[in-house]
Amino acid sequence: MTRFYITTPIYYVNDVPHLGHAYTTMVADALARFHRSVGDDTRFLTGTDEHGLKVEQAAAARGLSPNKLADQVVERFRDTWVQMNIANDDFIRTTEPRHKQVVADIWRRIDAAGDIYKGAYEGWYCVSCEAYYGEGDLVEGKKCPVHKREVSWLSEPTYFFKMSRYGERLLEHFEKNPGFVQPEGYKNEVVSFLKSGLRDLSVSRTTFKWGIPVPGDEEHVIYVWLDALTNYMSALGPIGGELHRRYWPATCHLIGKDILKFHAVYWPCMLLSAGLPLPETIFTHGWWTVRGEKISKSMPATRVDPNQLAEDIGVDALRYYLLREVPLGLDGDFTYESLIGRYNAELANDLGNLVSRSLTVAAKFCAGAVPPAHGPLATSGRHGEIAQVARQVIGETEGHLRACAPSRALEAIWRLVREANRYVNDTQPWVLAKDPQRKEELDHSVRIALEALCCAARMVAPVMPKTAEKILALVGMVGARGQEAIARWPVADRFGQELELGAPLGASTILFPRIDEARQAALLERWIPTDARAGEPPAAAKPSPAAEKTSDGVEVTFEEFGRMDLRVARVLSAEPVPKAKKLLVLTVDVGDGTPRQVVAGIAEAFRPEELIGRSVIFLANLKPATIRGVTSQGMILAAGADAVLGLSAVDRDLPPGTRIR
Ligand code: MSP
């Protein structure tokens, strides 16, 4: 049996769950549910990261012990996951004994491999931040960039992990396993980081105590990332134990792009040293902003509360929106308006209509019970067409979910939903019902509409489990039959034969009541905190007047030109933007360690693969904007006023980030 072990990052307990955490966990949940439905031996893990300075400080600020804070916040996470209908098989806390044992075990293995040595970590230290800074980070002479306070040169004894020994082996692993880090752009980012050479890693601290002690030297606590990453293994019990043998290596670590280096460099190096197999895939997703802004505690408008949204529009609607709106891997922008827009168009209209119309015609013309299909009609004309679409969609959706592309999967399912709505329109059961000679045709078309609905419900179940269950009950799949239908992925060749002849149907119902303008206003009132309601659309969405005016012949001053931060950027990845013929979404390396995502209107002039590795001129300080739901942070310069005629370039190989003046 195929094994599928998927994990989310474990969340810090210094913060309560927000949209970003909910997103990762929902994606992992949907993928786990899908893999269970295709019969894989599935395990899905999430949990909390409870050690480290960050948590210690957050606890102190609230006058609590770190333990107490963790105990409180962990409940918020657990409750949220129940509300979000997350079906995780296990939940790990890094303060649990089972975890601490495995962390100590990994430490000992790394030590036994000769990869731990004692030294001193030196650097400029800011006491307020409790963090070391590099020379280049300091401002105004020798001041910390955050607090603008004098830093001091400190040296802390520390154990180092000889990570530098593993760079080559890890690069080889990347070569032999092209799917190790996905999507491609993130892989390229890690590979170029590895090629620049690895340094040894400081893996213990002495300046605070909230952590797991270093075996044999209680003065030190183990570096929080070594501690945290081990959760993926410690949740399976002792190394070599039954669960470990069954599920390790993990199939997929699903992570946000912020923690890529830890997962794709540190963790594999530790595992190589400890003599343990590496995870199969590290799948990296992008970053959600809220109305163009980064989610942050100090910006109330960006603190989207998933629990509140789920309460108001239903958890399935929220899961649908988050998984459908942005292809996994890309950055996206969350707005309440787009949430409501998709809710109305795709749930209330497309899916909601199919539910109410197919059940209405069944109640009216088929006595509210599943009617018989009529064999000879199944392959003919309109009836044959929809069956073909359904069979295709089942295969395609399965492929997308196997490839961790839930947005594409939902797009495919909606092709069937829309096709089924058209089918009801085209076959017109209400007309067929007027002619007793056409009873068989009437029954068949009602049956196929119901079958299409049932099929769509089963495919949508990993993303919208409650909705799927409701729909299946409505089409007469109740009790064990309903459970079974959800638990098993539909088989393409069985399309049209899944329902039970004569099974009583539910009454036509409105699953997703339309959100009209008045309700929308009321919801926005509730969702957007009063102190964040400026009445203005987000700055990023507004074109700047200057940009509108600019045309040939307008002079700019030297200062104006100087405000443009032009840089050499290297293209790491390029992909089409779904349903936008002219657009490509690129990630580019601008030399600051954080690749940028940009949407560029160059798809008609370049194929994505032609762009990877090219150096272009990049406007780095253009205000971020959202284009077709995809975040764009900058602009690639190209030649051509309307059509793109060529791409900007520099005439020699210069490192990304080089300034252009
Ligand atoms: N504790 C570490 C992870 C250790 S894993 C061994 C950590 N925790 S966190 O609480 O900060 O959560 C990080 C994860 O939350 C991100 O990797 C991402 O999966 C998710 N997100 C948090 N904010 C997010 C967005 N704004 N957008 C998308 N996902 C985000 O880092």
- The CATH number for 45's domain is 3.40.50.620
pLDDT band for 68, please (50, 70, 90 cuts).
very high
Boundary of a domain, candidates 467, 494, 521: 494
Q: What residues are in contact with ligand 1 under a 6 Å CB criterion?
A: 9-12, 20-21, 23-24, 49, 228-229, 231, 255-256, 258-259, 287-288, 295
User: Is residue 541's pLDDT more than 50?
Assistant: no
> What Rg, from alpha-carbon coordinates, does the chain have?
28
Weakest-pLDDT range from 148-162, 406-420, 447-461, 464-478: 148-162
- For the stretch 208-229, pLDDT in tens is 899 999 999 999 999 999 999 9
In a domain, 364, yes or no: yes
**CA of residue 636 to ligand 1 center, whole Å:** 29
pLDDT band for 546, please (50, 70, 90 cuts).
very low
User: Which tokens in the block code for residue 625?
Assistant: 């904007």
For residues 456 and 566, state if they share a domain.
no
Q: State the closest ligand 1 atom to the C-alpha of 11, by its place in the atom list counted from 1.
A: 10
In a domain, 531, yes or no: no
Boundary of a domain, candidates 243, 267, 285: 285
In a domain, 507, yes or no: no
Sort strands 293-294 and 204-205 into parallel, antiparallel or unpaired: unpaired
For residues 117 and 239, state if they share a domain.
yes
For residues 27 and 149, state if they share a domain.
yes
- For the stretch 99-112, pLDDT in tens is 999 999 999 999 99
What are the catalytic residues? 18, 21, 126, 129, 144, 147, 294, 297
Calculate the CA 229 to chain-centre distance: 19
pLDDT band for 130, please (50, 70, 90 cuts).
low
For residues 467 and 366, state if they share a domain.
yes
Range 310-318 average pLDDT:
97
User: Which tokens in the block code for residue 241?
Assistant: 């134990």
Nearest residue to 457 (alpha-carbon basis) of 507, 501, 420, 407: 420
In a domain, 329, yes or no: no
Residue nearest to atom 7 of ligand 1 (CA): 11
% of the chain exceeding 90 in pLDDT = 75
Res 61: pLDDT: 92
**CA of residue 237 to ligand 1 center, whole Å:** 24
pLDDT band for 553, please (50, 70, 90 cuts).
low
Q: Region of 578 please: left (phi>0), alpha (psi -120 to 50) or beta.
A: beta
Range 473-487 average pLDDT:
93
Nearest residue to 306 (alpha-carbon basis) of 11, 631, 26: 26
Residue 128 or 636, more confident:
636
Res 531: pLDDT: 64
User: Is residue 545's pLDDT more than 70?
Assistant: no
Nearest residue to 17 (alpha-carbon basis) of 66, 64, 86, 68: 86
For residues 351 and 265, state if they share a domain.
no
CB atoms within 10 A of CB 321: 22
Residue nearest to atom 17 of ligand 1 (CA): 256
- Domain extent, residue 606, equals 558-660
For residues 133 and 247, state if they share a domain.
yes
Tell me the best of 16, 19, 23, 297 to mutate to test the pocket of ligand 1, counting ligand atoms within 8 Å of each CB and taking the most.
23
**CA of residue 21 to ligand 1 center, whole Å:** 6
In a domain, 302, yes or no: no
Q: State the closest ligand 1 atom to the C-alpha of 12, by its place in the atom list counted from 1.
A: 10
User: Is residue 548's pLDDT more than 50?
Assistant: no
For residues 167 and 20, state if they share a domain.
yes
Res 371: pLDDT: 98
Q: Name every residue whose Cβ is closer than 8 Å to that of residue 591 and which is 6 or more positions away in sequence.
A: 567, 568, 569, 655, 656, 657, 658
Nearest residue to 316 (alpha-carbon basis) of 78, 86, 497: 86
What backbone torsions phi and psi does residue 79 show, to the nearest 5 degrees?
-65, -40
- For the stretch 557-572, pLDDT in tens is 787 888 899 999 999 8
pLDDT band for 547, please (50, 70, 90 cuts).
very low
Res 540: pLDDT: 38
For residues 281 and 340, state if they share a domain.
no
**CA of residue 85 to ligand 1 center, whole Å:** 19
Q: Region of 381 please: left (phi>0), alpha (psi -120 to 50) or beta.
A: left
**CA of residue 47 to ligand 1 center, whole Å:** 12
Number of structural domains the chain divides into: 3
- For the stretch 395-438, pLDDT in tens is 999 999 999 999 999 999 999 999 999 999 999 999 999 999 99
In a domain, 586, yes or no: yes
Boundary of a domain, candidates 248, 263, 285: 285
For residues 25 and 93, state if they share a domain.
yes
For residues 270 and 368, state if they share a domain.
no
Average confidence score pLDDT of the chain: 92
The answer to whether residues 597 and 286 touch, using CB atoms and an 8 Å cutoff, is: yes
User: Is residue 536's pLDDT more than 80?
Assistant: no
Sort strands 217-222 and 252-256 into parallel, antiparallel or unpaired: unpaired
In a domain, 465, yes or no: yes
Rounded to whole angstroms, the Cα distance separating 661 from 650 reads 12
% of the chain exceeding 70 in pLDDT = 96
How would DSSP label each residue in 501-512? TTPBPPPP--SS
In a domain, 411, yes or no: yes
Range 275-280 average pLDDT:
98
What backbone torsions phi and psi does residue 107 show, to the nearest 5 degrees?
-55, -45
For residues 343 and 280, state if they share a domain.
no
Range 132-155 average pLDDT:
85
In this structure, what DSSP letter does residue 349 have?
I
Residue in the block written with tokens 């899961």: 319
For residues 269 and 339, state if they share a domain.
no
Domain containing residue 399: CATH number: 1.10.730.10
Cis check for the bond before 183: say yes or no (omega within 30 of 0): yes
Residue nearest to atom 16 of ligand 1 (CA): 256
- For the stretch 592-629, pLDDT in tens is 878 899 999 999 888 888 888 888 999 999 998 888 88
The answer to whether residues 144 and 129 touch, using CB atoms and an 8 Å cutoff, is: yes
Nearest residue to 293 (alpha-carbon basis) of 633, 638, 628: 633
Angle among Cα 337, 588, 605 to the nearest 5 degrees reads 85
